[in-house]
């Protein structure tokens, strides 16, 4: 941003006709009643009740000493001063020259006209706006942060940057880097990346920018390590001797074999890591799948029921009744294609854990029907009687299946073809499915050691 230089000037310096200022003289200091030293011009002309005027500074000083007009001695309080609108308007209409007509600094207290200054003559009331836009105003060189001390007119800044300022940035014609003008010659002679220099190893003429690449990959006189250093060859030699070196020691077969063995070992380690990560990923997918199933569905009104002893099982909590409510059914149909299951949360009967596995679009080749299975987390063999009932909007059409199964491992038991997954059949009212669950452990085959 251009940094403007504030000029030191008075109305006497810029008025076109000095006689025009006579009606606007302060009766005490005889300067103009308008203060031109302020950044924002104020045209207020203050007078006593009899019409005598003074500048703001003299009014303040006079009334702080004695509250009377210095001209007519009438009693005057600061609050009683009024504006002289007639003089204010007359002052606004005075013709002045732009202060940027002058040189930057005065000579022996006098403003000095400059041939290259602003030629504008305008009314006082337009001066403030003009000064904001004037192309002849003085500014500091924009490269001032880089120690350029020039103060120039705004309309000369382009010429200053292109031809004068030592700190303006010039593009090097060879490498396109931006360099300060004062450093450009040195850059071209000794620093430019395109400068051709002699390699200290092989005496080849190489571009300065390419020298590091030359030494790393091309220079025949650069000392290098053997290509098979990882295989145990620690010799160093000139790059030009590489072919001769590789032909030694039976063409480096021993070292090549070492490198191959090392790569094989690294590959085996990578494969082991990959298998571990693959297993971890599968485990995480299973956990995520179960968590999603749990979040997207809920079991309500679930509670184990106590009953008397059954065959061989003894008495205790061996009956479970509850409901599994699955919301957002249309989304489940999209998210769980054929053979992808949705699992209920776990529920417990005594020490045994169960869950329901539901296939919204069927399992295996069964299409158009839900598949449903009861799973028992295997701890010991159990004979279980269970029923799963799909609730219909018409209770007379509820669909219930009952089965007795001996759970002897982690396999599930149920029905591949349960109910149709048509939205109009009454089982999916309010976009949800409700399944009543009833389970009774008839017999637990416990192992006893005495």
- Confidence band (pLDDT; 50, 70, 90) for 304? very low
- Report how far residue 418's alpha carbon sits from residue 212's, in angstroms, rounded to the nearest whole number: 75
Average pLDDT for 2-27: 78
In the prediction, which pLDDT does 107 show? Answer: 67
Domain boundaries, the chain: 3-139, 292-444
Q: How many whole angstroms separate alpha carbon 343 and alpha carbon 73? A: 103
Calpha distance 69→48 (Å, rounded)? 7
Average pLDDT, the chain: 84
Write down the pLDDT at residue 182.
87
Tokens 């038991």: give the residue.
413
CATH C-level class of 3-139: alpha beta
Give the residue, 51 or 191, on which the prediction is more confident: 51
pLDDT of residue 418: 94
Is residue 326 within 8 Å of residue 293, measured between CB atoms? no
Query: What is the separation of C-alpha 427 from the centre of its chain, rounded to a whole number of angstroms?
Result: 48
Contacts of 287 (CB under 8 A, 6+ apart): none
From the number of C-beta atoms within 10 Å of its C-beta (0-12, 13-18, 19+), residue 250 rates as exposed
Burial (CB count <10 Å: 0-12, 13-18, 19+), residue 311: exposed
* Residue 3's pLDDT band (cuts 50, 70, 90): low
The alpha-carbon radius of gyration of the chain (Å, integer) is 50
The answer, yes or no, to whether residue 200 has pLDDT greater than 70, is yes
> Could you tell me the pTM of the whole model?
0.41
- What would the two tokens of residue 378 be? 């295997």
Indicate the pLDDT class of residue 424, thresholds 50, 70 and 90. confident
- Going from the C-alpha of 168 to that of each of 162, 165, 180, the distances in angstroms are 7, 6, 5
Give the pLDDT band (50/70/90) at residue 21.
confident
Q: State the CATH class of domain 292-444.
A: mainly beta
Residue 392 and residue 434 in contact, taking contact as beta carbons nearer than 8 Å: no
Q: Can you tell me the mean pLDDT for 389-415?
A: 91
Handedness of CA 53, 59, 62, 66 (dihedral sign): positive
Q: How far apart are CA 249 and CA 180, in angstroms?
A: 58
Token pair of 341, please?
């299951």
């Amino acid at each position: 941003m251009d940094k403007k230089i504030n000029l030191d000037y008075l109305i006497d310096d810029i008025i076109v006709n000095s006689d025009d200022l006579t009606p606007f003289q302060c009766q005490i200091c005889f300067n103009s009643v308008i203060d031109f030293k302020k950044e924002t011009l104020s045209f207020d002309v203050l007078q006593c009740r009899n019409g005598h005027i003074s500048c703001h500074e003299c009014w303040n000083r006079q009334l702080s000493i004695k509250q009377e007009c210095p001209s007519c001695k009438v009693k005057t309080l600061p609050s009683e001063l009024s504006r002289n609108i007639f003089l204010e308007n007359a002052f606004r209409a005075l013709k002045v020259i732009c202060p940027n007509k002058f040189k930057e600094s005065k000579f022996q207290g006098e403003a000095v006209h400059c041939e290259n200054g602003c030629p504008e003559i305008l009314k006082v009331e337009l001066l403030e706006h003009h000064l904001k836009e004037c192309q002849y105003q003085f500014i500091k060189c924009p490269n001032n942060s880089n120690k350029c001390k020039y103060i120039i007119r705004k309309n000369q800044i382009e010429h200053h940057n292109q031809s004068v300022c030592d700190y303006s940035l010039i593009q090097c014609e060879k490498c396109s880097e931006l360099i300060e003008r004062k450093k450009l010659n040195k850059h071209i002679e000794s620093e430019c990346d395109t400068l051709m220099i002699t390699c200290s190893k092989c005496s080849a003429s190489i571009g300065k920018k390419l020298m590091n690449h030359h030494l790393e990959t091309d220079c025949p006189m650069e000392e290098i390590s053997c290509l098979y250093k990882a295989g145990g060859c620690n010799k160093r030699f000139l790059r030009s001797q590489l072919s001769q070196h590789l032909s030694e020691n039976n063409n480096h077969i021993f070292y090549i074999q070492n490198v191959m063995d090392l790569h094989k070992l690294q590959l085996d380690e990578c494969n082991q890591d990959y298998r571990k990560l693959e297993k971890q990923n599968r485990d995480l997918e299973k956990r995520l799948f179960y968590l999603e199933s749990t979040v997207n569905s809920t079991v309500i009104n679930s509670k184990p029921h106590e009953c008397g002893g059954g065959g061989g099982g003894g008495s205790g909590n061996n009956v479970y009744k509850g409901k599994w409510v699955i919301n957002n059914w249309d989304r489940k149909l999209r998210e769980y294609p054929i053979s992808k299951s949705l699992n209920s949360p776990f529920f417990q009967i005594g020490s045994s854990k169960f869950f329901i596995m539901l296939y919204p679009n069927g399992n295996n080749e069964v299409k158009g029907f839900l598949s449903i299975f009861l799973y028992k987390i295997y701890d010991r063999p159990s004979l279980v009687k269970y029923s799963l009932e799909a609730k219909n909007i018409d209770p007379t059409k509820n669909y219930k299946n009952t089965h007795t199964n001996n759970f002897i491992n982690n396999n599930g038991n149920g029905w591949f073809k349960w109910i149709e997954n048509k939205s109009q059949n009454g089982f999916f009212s309010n976009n949800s499915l409700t399944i009543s669950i009833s389970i009774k452990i008839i017999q637990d085959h416990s192992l006893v050691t005495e």
